[in-house]
């Protein structure tokens, strides 16, 4: 596909990020080339584990900090400066596009997204889907991404959005829940209303993601964090199509896409296929810590790069335990066409930041060792 919509001044096209270890690893499924260094970043790297984050956020609510371009940009850059990770992830939240479309939502500290109401009836959903995400409303996002990529130089920025099912899980429940019972009940009891809801969420998420890529993000990640609560049939009937719809908003931009969820071992091929169906060329599957990476690669037929899957719990373990685990993850990831090292879910808030920096050094040194052993020149 010829990329038509990204400007020649975009970091992927002006020589800044196309050759970065992250972008090369994400594209390894189509190029067949692994970068010499295994790239590493951490989900939720920008956040509560950093004292400089807590200082920057002091007195500003979570969602307000996402909508202040200087602050969102500064927080995005903090983990890159401190840990030397191979990618920045844009500091925002999956519910930010809801807020920008005028939907009442807040993030309660220690709880997560709380909606002004639960959207469960056909009338609730009919009113909700009238909300629109306009280009004007996205201005703080576009501006923050622009400031961030200017400061990042050759380090790629990852843009992200929540997948329609995960967004709908919050909308239908009205707040975080463990099993997403109300959402799963609606999916089967009123498929028409459900479809209306997830199609709207898909366009919202896709619009949010597209704005980040156009403004300078070099990769995109779709978080379907709670998809693992769905059976294969529910995923196929009520979630996959909407995820595809969300990603059609970026398919023409030819940006690599990572699709991630937790507890999704039974869904890995279906999640890959949802991205492929959107017409995305470089498809990568994020794997949580429950499935050994080599098994995930096998389930996926060995053709797509994978991202993951260091167990976040082990960040609190003695270093020798964590080191052995990281080495094992890298060894198993070696069978994939490409591997982006990451955690299997987000950084726990009480993580010692020094441990994250040490994991970055370890991942880089192990991949340099194995490149040297195989005679590849490391640049």
* Catalytic residue set: 44, 48, 57, 93, 170
**Which residue's CB is nearer to ligand CP3, number 160 or number 235?**
160
Q: Considering the rule CB under 6 A, would residue 223 count as an interface residue with ligand CP3?
A: yes
Residue 107 found at the interface with ligand CP3 (CB under 6 A): yes
Question: Quick check: helix, strand or coil at residue 173?
Answer: helix
112 touches ligand CP3 (CB under 6 A): yes
Kindly indicate which of the ranges 104-112, 185-193, 246-254, 371-379 contains the residues binding ligand CP3, using the contact rule CB under 6 A. Answer: 104-112
Contact between 337 and ligand CP3 (CB under 6 A)?
Answer: no
**Integer Cα distance of 106 and 108 in angstroms:** 6
Cβ nearer to ligand CP3, comparing 34 with 180: 180
CB of residue 88 to ligand CP3, shortest distance in Å: 9
Integer CA distances (angstroms), 47 to 66, 69, 186, 218, 273, in order? 12, 16, 33, 21, 31
As measured in angstroms, the least distance from the Cβ of 378 to ligand CP3 is 28
For ligand CP3, the closer of residues 148 and 166 by Cβ is 166
Residue 209: which of 252, 151, 272 has the closest Cα? 252
Burial 228-246 (b: 16+ CB within 10 A, else e): bbbeeebbebbbbbbbbbb
Please report whether residue 110 would count as binding ligand CP3 according to CB under 6 A: yes
Which of 93, 203, 294, 311 touches ligand CP3 by CB under 6 A? 93
The tokens for 67 are: 């909508």
Cα–Cα distance list, 198 to 66, 130, 165, 166 (Å): 24, 13, 7, 9
User: Applying CB under 6 A, which of residues 38, 78, 91, 353 lies at the interface with ligand CP3?
Assistant: 91
Find the shortest distance in angstroms from Cβ 4 to ligand CP3: 28
User: Which residues lie below 8 Å from residue 128, measured CB to CB, with a gap of 6+?
Assistant: 103, 119, 171, 197, 200
Contact between 88 and 155 (Cβ < 8 Å): yes
**Interaction site with ligand CP3 (CB under 6 A):** 43-48, 62, 89, 91-94, 107, 109-113, 160, 166, 223, 225, 346
């Amino acid at each position: 596909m010829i990329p038509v919509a990204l400007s020649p001044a975009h970091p992927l096209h002006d020589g800044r990020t196309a050759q970065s270890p992250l972008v090369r690893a994400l594209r390894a499924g189509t190029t067949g080339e692994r970068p010499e260094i295994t790239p590493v970043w951490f989900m939720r790297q920008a956040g509560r584990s950093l004292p400089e984050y807590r200082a920057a956020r002091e007195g500003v609510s979570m969602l307000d900090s996402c909508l202040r371009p200087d602050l969102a940009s500064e927080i995005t850059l903090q983990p890159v400066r401190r840990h030397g990770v191979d990618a920045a992830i844009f500091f925002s939240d999956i519910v930010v596009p809801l807020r920008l479309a005028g939907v009442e939502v807040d993030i309660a500290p220690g709880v997560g997204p709380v909606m002004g109401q639960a959207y469960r009836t056909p009338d609730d959903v009919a009113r909700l889907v009238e909300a629109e995400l306009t280009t004007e409303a996205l201005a703080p996002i576009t501006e923050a991404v622009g400031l961030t990529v200017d400061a990042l130089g050759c380090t790629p920025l990852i843009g992200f959005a929540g997948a329609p099912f995960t967004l709908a899980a919050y909308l239908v429940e009205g707040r975080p829940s463990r099993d997403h019972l109300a959402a799963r009940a609606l999916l089967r009891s009123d498929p028409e209303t459900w479809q209306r809801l997830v199609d709207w969420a898909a366009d919202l998420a896709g619009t949010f993601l597209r704005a980040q890529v156009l403004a300078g993000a070099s990769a995109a990640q779709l978080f379907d964090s709670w998809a693992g609560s769905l059976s294969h049939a529910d995923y196929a009937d009520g979630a996959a199509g909407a995820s595809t719809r969300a990603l059609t908003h970026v398919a023409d931009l030819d940006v690599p896409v990572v699709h991630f969820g937790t507890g999704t071992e039974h869904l890995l091929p279906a999640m890959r296929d949802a991205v492929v169906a959107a017409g995305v060329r470089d498809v990568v599957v994020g794997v949580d810590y429950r499935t050994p990476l080599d098994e995930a690669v096998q389930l996926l037929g060995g053709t797509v790069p994978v991202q993951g899957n260091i167990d976040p719990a082990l960040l609190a373990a003695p270093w020798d335990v964590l080191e052995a685990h990281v080495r094992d993850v890298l060894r198993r990831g070696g069978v994939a066409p490409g591997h982006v090292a990451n955690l299997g879910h987000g950084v726990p808030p009480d993580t010692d930041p020094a441990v994250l920096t040490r994991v970055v050094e370890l991942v880089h040194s192990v991949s340099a060792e194995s490149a040297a052993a195989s005679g590849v020149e490391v640049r």
